[in-house]
Amino acid sequence: MFTRSRTNTTRRQADRITQPDTAERFPGLRMEGVTKRYANADHDVLHDISLDVPRGKVLVVVGPSGSGKSTLLRAVAGLEPIQGGEILLNGDIIGQGRPGTKAAGYAPRPAALRTRIGMVFQSYDLFPNRNVLDNVTMAPVLVLKRDKRNVEQEALRLLERVGLRDRADAKPHELSGGQRQRVAICRAMIMHPELLLLDEITASLDPEMVREVLDVVLDLADGGQTMMIVTHEMAFARAVADEVVMLENGGIVERSDNPEQFFTHPRTRRAQEFLETFEFARRHRG
Amino acid sequence: MADDVAQSRGARVMNTYLVFIRVMPQLALLFIAFYGFARAWNWNLDATGACVLVFVLWGGAELGDLVRGALVSIPAIQYESAYMLGLTPWQTFTRVILPQALRRLLPGSVNLSTRIVKTTSLAVLLGVVEVIKVGQQIIDAHRFDYPQGTLWVYGVIFLMYFIVCWPLSLAARALERRWAD
Ligand SMILES: Nc1ncnc2c1ncn2[C@@H]1O[C@H](COP(=O)(O)OP(=O)(O)O)[C@@H](O)[C@H]1O
Ligand SMILES: [Mg+2]
H runs (alpha helix) in chain A: 6-16, 69-77, 111-114, 132-142, 148-161, 177-189, 207-222, 234-240, 259-264, 269-276
Q: In the predicted model, what is the mean pLDDT of residues B89-114?
A: 90
- Band (pLDDT 50/70/90 cuts) for residue B3 is very low
More confident residue, A94 or A99: A94
Asked if residues A249 and A69 have their Cβ atoms less than 8 Å apart, the reply is no
Residue of B nearest to A188 (CA): B85
Percent of chain A exceeding pLDDT 70 equals 92
Contacts of B181 in chain A (CB under 8 A): 128-129, 171-173
pTM: 0.82
The answer to whether the Cα torsion of A40, A73, A185, A215 is positive or negative is negative
Identify the CATH number of the domain defined by range B2-108.
Answer: 1.10.3720.10
Short-list B108, B114, B106, B109, CA closest to B175: B106
Q: What is the pLDDT of residue A125?
A: 87
CB pairs under 8 A between A and B: 68
Asked if residues B65 and B18 have their Cβ atoms less than 8 Å apart, the reply is yes
Pick from A127, A181, A183 the residue to mutate for testing the B interface (most B CBs within 10 Å): A127
Asked if residues A36 and A19 have their Cβ atoms less than 8 Å apart, the reply is no
| pLDDT greater than 90 at residue B172 | no
- Interacting residues of A159 by C-beta distance below 8 A, sequence separation 6+: A132, A133, A136, A165, A167, A168, A183, A186
- Band (pLDDT 50/70/90 cuts) for residue A108 is confident
Distance of CA A68 from the midpoint of ligand 1 (Å): 6
Q: What is the pLDDT of residue A9?
A: 46
Asked if residues B119 and B28 have their Cβ atoms less than 8 Å apart, the reply is no
Give domain A1-116+226-286's CATH number out of 3.40.50.970, 3.60.110.10, 3.10.180.10, 3.40.50.300: 3.40.50.300
The CATH 1.10.3720.10 portion of chain B extends over 2-108
- Band (pLDDT 50/70/90 cuts) for residue B80 is very high
Q: What is the pLDDT of residue A24?
A: 65
**Nearest-neighbour CA in chain B from A220: distance (Å):** 19
Q: What is the pLDDT of residue A195?
A: 96
Map out the domains of chain A as residue ranges: 1-116+226-286
For residues A232 and A219, give the distance between their C-alpha atoms in angstroms, rounded to a whole number. 19
Q: What is the pLDDT of residue B141?
A: 87
Contacts of B95 in chain A (CB under 8 A): 127, 138, 142
Pick from B3, B79, B81, B106 the residue to mutate for testing the A interface (most A CBs within 10 Å): B81
**Nearest-neighbour CA in chain A from B127: distance (Å):** 48
Which one of B84, B87, B88 has the shortest CB-CB distance to A118? Answer: B84
Q: What is the ipTM of this complex?
A: 0.86
**Tens of pLDDT, residues A242-262:** 999 999 999 999 999 999 999
For residues A190 and B131, give the distance between their C-alpha atoms in angstroms, rounded to a whole number. 61
For residues A23 and A52, give the distance between their C-alpha atoms in angstroms, rounded to a whole number. 13
Q: What spatial distance separates the first Cα and last Cα of chain B, rounded to whole Å?
A: 28
A90 CB-contact burial (10 Å; exposed 0-12 / middle 13-18 / buried 19+) = middle
Ligand 1 near A135 CB (within 6 A): no
Q: Tell me B121's DSSP state.
A: G
Q: What is the pLDDT of residue A255?
A: 94
Short-list B176, B3, B35, CA closest to A105: B3
